[in-house]
C-alpha cells in the first residue's frame, strides 16, 4: 500500500539538507529559494510552522485527493511491478509525505518519500510511483545482486544513476504509461547520455536481470 500523510518535522530536515544542494544538473536549493524566498537557516522552523498553519486546508485537500487517486491506481501498478521483477510487492507499505519544498526525496532505509504539494494531481501520482519503484528496484537488487552491489553507495554513483535511469525506462513501458497517463521524464539532465546508452542495453537484454548485469559490468569502475 502507498499512503500519503503530512509530516511537518520532515520538512525541517529536508530544508537543512537541500537548501544549498544540487546533483547531476538538478539544483534543489534554487527550487527552494524560488518558492520560499524569505526562508533561511535562522528562521526555517518558524517559517515552516507558520506555512503549515496558513496552508493547512490546501495541504489536507491535496492529501485527500492523492490518496483517493492512489487507491484507484496502485493495484494495477503493483501488478505491473510483479511482471517486471517477479516479486509480489502487494504486502509492502510505502509511506509518502506532502512537502512544501519541491525536492521530492526518497529514503531507502525507511522506504518513505516526499511529494511537493503544489504539483498537479497526476504529477503527484508520478512521484509516488517513481519513488515506490525505487524501493522495489533496490529490493530486487538486494535479492539478486547482493554481492555485486555491496561495494557501491545506493545514494550516489552507479547504483543511484541506475535507479534513476531504470525508472525512466520502466515507467515509459506501455502498461505504466497507461497507469500514469503521461510520459516519464528524466529529472537529472547530466544522466541523459547514460540513459541513451541504457536504452540500447534494455532493448538487447533478455530480462531485467540481464539488463542490470550488463549495465553494471559496462559502467562499473574498479
Mean pLDDT over each residue of the chain, to the nearest integer: 96
- pLDDT (tens digit per residue) in 90-111: 999 999 999 999 999 999 999 9
- pLDDT (tens digit per residue) in 16-72: 999 999 999 999 999 999 999 999 999 999 999 999 999 999 999 999 999 999 999
> What pLDDT sits at residue 77?
97
> What pLDDT sits at residue 31?
97
The answer, yes or no, to whether residue 222 has pLDDT greater than 70, is no
> What pLDDT sits at residue 75?
96
DSSP letters, 45-106, are HHHHHHHHHHTHHHHHHHHHHHHHHHHHHHHHHHHHHHHHHS---TT--EEEEEESSTT--E
The pLDDT-based confidence of 219 (bands split at 50, 70, 90) is confident
DSSP state of 165: H
How many angstroms separate the CA atoms of 27 and 18, rounded? 9
The pLDDT-based confidence of 220 (bands split at 50, 70, 90) is confident
> What pLDDT sits at residue 221?
56
CA distances to 12, 85, 115, 120, 184 from 163, rounded to whole Å, are 26, 14, 18, 24, 14
How many angstroms separate the CA atoms of 9 and 49, rounded? 9
- pLDDT (tens digit per residue) in 156-192: 999 999 999 999 999 999 999 999 999 999 999 999 9
Amino acid at each position: 500500500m502507498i499512503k500519503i500523510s503530512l509530516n511537518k518535522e520532515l520538512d525541517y530536515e529536508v530544508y537543512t539538507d537541500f537548501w544549498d544542494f544540487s546533483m547531476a544538473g538538478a539544483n534543489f536549493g534554487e527550487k527552494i529559494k524560488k518558492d520560499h524566498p524569505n526562508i533561511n537557516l535562522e528562521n526555517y522552523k518558524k517559517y515552516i510552522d507558520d506555512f503549515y498553519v496558513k496552508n493547512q486546508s490546501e495541504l489536507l485537500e491535496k492529501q485527500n485527493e492523492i490518496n483517493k487517486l492512489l487507491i484507484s491506481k496502485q493495484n494495477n501498478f503493483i501488478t505491473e511491478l510483479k511482471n517486471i521483477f517477479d516479486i509480489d510487492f502487494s504486502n509492502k507499505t510505502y509511506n509518502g509525505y506532502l512537502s512544501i519544498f519541491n525536492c521530492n526525496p526518497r529514503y531507502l532505509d525507511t522506504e518513505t518519500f516526499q511529494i511537493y504539494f503544489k504539483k498537479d494531481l497526476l504529477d503527484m501520482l508520478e512521484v509516488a510511483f517513481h519513488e515506490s519503484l525505487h524501493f522495489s528496484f533496490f529490493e530486487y537488487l538486494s535479492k539478486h545482486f547482493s554481492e555485486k552491489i555491496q561495494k557501491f553507495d545506493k545514494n550516489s554513483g552507479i547504483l543511484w544513476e541506475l535507479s534513476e535511469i531504470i525508472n525512466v525506462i520502466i515507467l515509459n513501458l506501455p502498461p505504466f504509461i497507461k497507469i500514469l497517463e503521461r510520459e516519464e521524464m528524466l529529472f537529472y539532465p547530466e544522466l541523459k547520455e547514460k540513459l541513451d546508452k541504457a536504452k540500447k542495453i534494455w532493448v538487447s537484454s533478455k530480462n531485467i536481470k540481464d539488463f542490470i548485469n550488463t549495465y553494471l559490468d559496462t559502467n562499473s569502475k574498479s
